[in-house]
Amino acid sequence: MKSHMHLRPRVLVTGGSGFLGSHLCERLLASGAEVLCVDNFFSSTRENVEHLLPNPRFELMRHDVTFPLFVEVDEIYHLACPASPIHYQRDPVQTTKTSVHGSINMLGLAKRTGARILLASTSEVYGDPEVHPQVEEYWGHVNPNGIRSCYDEGKRCAETLFFDYHRQNQVDIKVARIFNTYGPRMHPNDGRVVSNFIVQTLRGDSITLYGDGSQTRSFCYVDDQVDGLMKLMGSPDGVTGPINIGNPNEITVRQLAERVTALIGDAREIIFEPLPSDDPTRRCPDITKAREILGWEPKTDLDTGLAATIEYFKNHPDRVNW
């Protein structure tokens, strides 16, 4: 990574007003960095970063990364892209453009400025995996033309672009594969199971399970996820990834629903719906590389993280009744 004369790193976070991006912006400011948060608010909200606006080291810019951005920065966290099925399927062409054109634009910026750039990739690059748990060397089992392909294949192409810019132009890259992050500021209507179950229970609605609820997920609390991303960004030059950043503790979706309702103290009726097309049946990261290379592993147990997330929604009834 290049050397800079100024004291504070200037960090660009694309998708910075989203759920994960807003927490990352907070932590970067706490570390002393100057933060430029860029977002087009397609699936995020300004409210997530409003409390950061008084900070003189924080700047918020409305911008769509599918168009070039001309700024001077030292590091780029490229998070911009709708990340939940409801949002990325709302405009699948735009989702693919965000992953592909957005990555080309941010890589071009990194090339020009000499900035180190991190891609927030996803466990979805593994598709409905035939290898379990998923290791980074696994190439995946992905439908290239299904309703989820705009996101799955978009992120796979983004990874391709990152590694080609690294090989061809010596761009300093890091690639993180993120697994099911949850916590405060989740969008209440993003279709993800944690927010779905919490919001449905607090509203007094029935709990919706897709399939028979036996499909598994592994949930990583947002604070741990941010720790992993920042450790990867700060790793030595030769570490490019991809590296899985997630929690290896696997749980069925039905067990998660039971945990949520037990923590809220309100048992709800469960309604079963058909499993969505191409929905993965098992999802769990192998985090050996994260442990050995980054010295990272998640610290927050599921009940603690769920309790903090439930408390957030209780304190924001406007989001429960979105």
User: Which residues are tagged catalytic?
Assistant: 151
Among residues 33, 8, 22, 19, the alpha carbon closest in space to that of 60 is found at 22
How far apart CA 56 and CA 221 sit, in angstroms, is 28
Torsion of CA 302, 305, 309, 310, to 10 degrees: 60
Number of Cβ within 10 Å of residue 218's Cβ equals: 23
Pairing outcome for strands 243-245 and 173-178: parallel
Pairing outcome for strands 10-14 and 34-39: parallel
Which residue in the block uniquely carries the two structure tokens 């100024």? 6
Among residues 249, 243, 219, the alpha carbon closest in space to that of 229 is found at 243
SS3 call for 26 = helix
What are the CA-CA distances from residue 100 to residues 77, 133, 169 (Å)?
15, 28, 17
Omega into 133 within 30° of 0, i.e. cis? yes
Contact 59/28 with Cβ under 8 angstroms? no
Which residue in the block uniquely carries the two structure tokens 């912006």? 25
How far apart CA 241 and CA 190 sit, in angstroms, is 28
Contact 122/82 with Cβ under 8 angstroms? no
The values of phi and psi at residue 201, to 5°, are -70, -45
How far apart CA 306 and CA 260 sit, in angstroms, is 7
